[in-house]
Amino acid sequence: MESEVPLNPDSESENSNEETAILANRRRHYYHLNKKVELGEIAALFLSRTGHVLFFASLCIYLFCDLTIYVAASGKTIVNLSCKSSNNTENFTESCWEDSGVTRMDMYRIYVALFGLFVGPFTYFNVQKTKYLQIFTISVRWIAFSIMLSLAVFRLATYGQQGRPSLVNIAEVPALAGSSIYSFMCHHSLPGLIAPISNKQGLMSKISMDFSVICGFYLLISLTGSFAFETIDVLYSLNFMPTHDSGFLMKLIGMFLAVFPLFPMATSFPIIAITMQGNLKHLFFEPYGIERHGFFMKRLLFPSLAIFPPIITALITHDLKGLVEITGSYIGVIVQYVIPAFLVWSARRQTVKYFGISAHKYSSPFRHFGWFVFVLVWSVVCIVFVTVDLIINHS
């Protein structure tokens, strides 16, 4: 039986080389990071209509919980600054002042309402030029974190170990999972951060180093605080509240640290609320569909939906620990793990279909399908953890 021989082997080879060159040109054209593309645009590009709706719904719920935490933390901070000192800052049934008849919970609700009254209206405007505001917020945060770390180390050096944390505490693992997810919930900002960087060589190592530094700083703050204080307040900065026998400098530092959470929360609240109303518009309308509606819908309804539900929720509860657990371990799992995993999976399928290959110079070292499965399994584990914890605590 005769074997089939190509009529023109050289021609076939040339065609093959030409196709390879075309694919290479396509990869060079599309695989760059010079354009700022938000996560919502990526979801619209790679997810189905149902996936698109679920993405924006999850993001809106996450931002709602985030805003609620900001409002509740601000209210608790002002209560602890204005009311008499208490051995238990979580006890809101005590009187705020001696023989006043006004409880700490009453004052907390008043402060939450005042926070909404003074900070909420900024949501109705378009805050775009936030460069100097962000520089100020970051500076205040780093100064406060550095002072807290230094004071905790000083306490350890002066008074020795005060706290006796357990080596392992399985009961707090769900809270740790939720807090960790909530603390590192920043990946949705990466597209906007990466695009302006001119030299993108070694981008992965730089981002990895950044996350490693953040993780190391969190560990330093956590470990020094765990050993320096016998008990730790849910809002860590309140552990540095000055006492009546503190010197002037320590009182000044203590008051700064106690007030510190108000600065980033008050400045970030309008920005997050504006982001939430934008996501709400994407959830309920097609792209640019909101433009067909009038002033009430665009400038009043959606900003109100972004600020009033978080404020009402904060009026009902002041449980920051529970809010962080629920936000991190339920909504955070979806936003940080599930949705990005499906985005990557869908994007790789489309690139394989279009280019014939999914690997490129920006490919993740975790591109094996097993990592996709691992992320989904870990998501389920986190949700089980927090569910068990909530059932045990409320049984």
Say whether 103 sits in a helix, a strand or coil: strand
Phi-psi region of 288 (alpha: psi -120 to 50; beta: other; left: phi over 0): left
Q: What's the rounded mean pLDDT across residues 80-107?
A: 78
Which two tokens mark 188?
A: 């949705």
Percent of the chain with pLDDT over 90: 6
Phi-psi region of 60 (alpha: psi -120 to 50; beta: other; left: phi over 0): alpha
Angstrom distances, CA of residue 394 to CA of 244, 389, 391:
38, 9, 5
Q: Which residue has the higher pLDDT, 388 or 146?
A: 146
First to last CA, the chain: 80
Residue 11, pLDDT above cutoff 50:
no
Distance of alpha carbon 185 from alpha carbon 120, whole angstroms: 23
Least confident of 1-15, 119-133, 273-287, 313-327: 1-15
Q: Which residue has the higher pLDDT, 21 or 45?
A: 45
pLDDT, residue 58, reads 85
Could you read off the pLDDT of 330-360 as tens digits, one per residue? 787 888 888 888 888 888 888 777 766 666 6
Q: What's the rounded mean pLDDT across residues 364-370?
A: 81
pLDDT, residue 130, reads 64
Which two tokens mark 131?
A: 């460069």
Range of 90-99, 226-235, 384-393 with top mean pLDDT: 226-235
Say whether 100 sits in a helix, a strand or coil: coil
Q: At residue 167, what are phi and psi to the nearest 5 degrees?
A: -60, -40
pLDDT, residue 39, reads 73
Could you read off the pLDDT of 250-294 as tens digits, one per residue? 888 888 888 888 887 888 888 888 888 888 887 777 655 556 666
Q: What's the rounded mean pLDDT across residues 27-43?
A: 69
Residue 6, pLDDT above cutoff 50:
no
Residue 377: band (very low, low, confident or very high) from pLDDT cuts 50, 70, 90: very high
- Mean pLDDT over the full length of the chain: 78
